[in-house]
Amino acid sequence: MQTVGSRPAGVRRILKDVWVFHDTCRVYVLKTGRRAVTIDFGSGRWLSSLRRLGIDGVDHVLLTHHHADQCAGLETRRAWPFRIHAPVGEDQFLEPAKIKVYDRSVPKMVCVPFPASYARVQRGIRGIAYDIRGNAELFLNGLCIRCIHTPGHGPNACSYIVEFYGRQLCFCGDAVYAGGTVWQPYNLEWDHWTGAGALAAWEGVRRLEGIGLDLLCPSHGPVIADRPRAVLRRLDLRLLDFYRAKGSVCAGEKDHWIVPKPVGDGVSRILPQLFMGSGNAYLLHSRTGEALIVDPTMSDIRQFERLLAGPLRGVKPTAAVVTHAHMDHYEGIPYLQRRYGALSWIHPRVAEAIMSDSHRHGFARAWWPLRIDRLWPETGRWRWNEYIFEVAPWPGQTWWHCVFMTIIDGKKVLFGGDSFQPASRWNGTGGFCALNLSRFRDGYIPSARLALRWKPDILANGHRCVFRFTASRFRRIIRWARFAEKATQALCPSGDLKHDYYIRPEPCCE
């Protein structure tokens, strides 16, 4: 590390005997005599500079949370000459043996779940004491370190409050960023649709609000010395708005479910020529004796095959189509291609995700090849036997989504995948989150307006959601999307969703 005068570059003194190093995260060093306690570790490059600050060595490293930018440098050695402390529960992301178990389990999953962490270390760190509990204290090197549970960026994250030379310092990890925002707010999304992470973060911020503080010392961005409680209050309100945005997309709207008629083996009939499996798929029967499968999953295909061996004996699946690029909506296509010679017809936007490193485009991904036989037009019409389909992009739950509508037995049926669901299912959305690249102004809003133009009779959506169209639902969705965009944007340090919410940068030196 280069130096300027006698002080290392990349380090700044906050108070007497308190320094901050600008590493992959902010690393705070508290000097006690000639020894030190540090908050987080980063890459560890700063260790070589301690002697220039009159510090002979470190006795304790306290991790605020498990993210790699806080502690990846600790992976480089099997043992360190200091004690490492982490919050209870973080072992699932830091212990080498537990990381290996998780990594081995992922390839066996047909549908990879929402990640437990976006930024865990790769190999794990040995020798950590998981002895930090919220609402408790640690007495280290003559300091009383008070531990406050401030989840959000993870369920176990903690902040540390230390009184130093008469000043109350709060080392708050990623719980707070300057201006009442949040560093990489997508980490608040613990699943693909609820506000659980945002609500937990709000509770943690409220805990900090109740404590008299002089300085907020976050893991990223500047130290907050000007009215720290006002900054916490601002974040408190913004987190509640984000939590509300995670609520219903059509609050107050009534659901108008269509009750299908069971025909056996998990299959139900919606219209004389339209059948539904027990998972995601639909079967459309043509007078030619062929069948088209919408969003084929293997469990549904097995059910449909029993139907084809009985009431629809002799009918053969010849086409498969997909609403969006999540594995649970297309994993049965290779089987249909091999078994029946069916052709896959895929929208260009969906094909983009499926064929280009698809695990980057959502929480569900393929782990075997998928052959795309034909591409639909981006927007336009497509004909399969007697059925003429209107086809268009349909971003919402994910950017890589399309919609298609045709007339079946005299009814306009829209196949809508997961972008919009009944209010009683997932708050009316299949999953608004950064991982799915759920967009507002150029996603949910134009898709809702398209539904208002098309005016279908029936929405046949994913996960057995079949219900009547009402214009009021989609007008409410447009109003919700405007609010949700503002609420999400308010948490972004730059105010730019693309930079702070959708992009997930790797840890880097600040």
Which tens digits make up the pLDDT trace of 338-376? 999 999 999 999 998 887 654 444 444 444 567 899 999
Q: Report which DSSP code applies to 439.
A: -
Contact 441, 483 (CB under 8 A): no
Rounded CA separation 271/259 (Å): 11
| DSSP-derived 3-state class of residue 491 | coil
On the question of pLDDT at 494 being above 90, the answer is yes
Q: Mean pLDDT: which of 230-234, 246-250, 393-397 is highest?
A: 230-234
Give me the DSSP letters along 9-22.
Answer: TTEEEEETTEEEEE
DSSP 233-290: HHHHHHHHHHHHHTS-TTTTPPP-B--PEEEETTEEEEETTEEE-SSS-EEEE-TTSE
Q: What's the pLDDT at 11?
A: 95
What is the structure's pLDDT at 3? 32
pLDDT(466) > 50: yes
Q: Do domains 3-245 and 261-471 have the same CATH topology?
A: yes
pLDDT value of position 192: 85
What pLDDT does 509 receive? 34
Given a cut of 80, whether residue 275 has pLDDT beyond it is: yes
H-helix or E-strand spanning residue 373: none
Domain residue spans in the chain?
3-245, 261-471
pTM of the model: 0.92
Spell out a b/e string for 248-262, using b for 16 or more CB atoms within 10 Å of the CB, else e: bbbeebebeebebee
**CATH match of 261-471 with 3.30.70.1290:** no
Let me know if 387 is exposed, middle or buried by CB neighbors in 10 A (0-12, 13-18, 19+). Answer: middle
The reported pLDDT for the residue numbered 207 is 97
The pLDDT, as a whole number, for residue 23 is: 96
**Bigger pLDDT: 365 or 208?**
208
Average pLDDT for 53-72 = 97
Q: Comparing C-alpha atoms, which of 9, 490, 20 is closest to residue 225? A: 20
* Helix, strand or coil, per DSSP, at residue 156: coil
Rounded Cα gap, residues 132 and 116, in angstroms = 20
368 or 35: which carries more pLDDT confidence? Answer: 35
Residue 57 has pLDDT above 90, yes or no: yes
Residue 506 has pLDDT above 50, yes or no: no
Spatial contact of 159 and 116, defined as CB atoms under 8 Å apart: no
Q: Mean pLDDT for the chain? A: 91
Supply the pLDDT for residue 288.
96
CATH 3.60.15.10 fits 3-245, yes or no: yes
Three-state DSSP state, 354: helix
The Cα 316–Cα 297 span in angstroms is: 17
Segment 215-229, tens digit of pLDDT: 999 999 999 999 999
- Nearest residue to 40 (alpha-carbon basis) of 142, 153, 185: 153
Provide the pLDDT for residue 159. 98
In tens, the pLDDT along 400-411 reads 999 999 999 999
Those residues whose C-beta lies under 8 Å from the C-beta of residue 204, and which sit 6 or more positions away, are: 148, 149, 150, 151, 152, 157, 159, 175
At residue 9, the pLDDT reads: 56
Q: At what angle do helices 228-245 and 196-209 cross, to 10 degrees?
A: 160
Amino acid at 289: G
Q: Which residue has the higher pLDDT, 286 or 116?
A: 286
For residue 264, the cross-strand partners are 267
pLDDT of 104 higher than 90: no
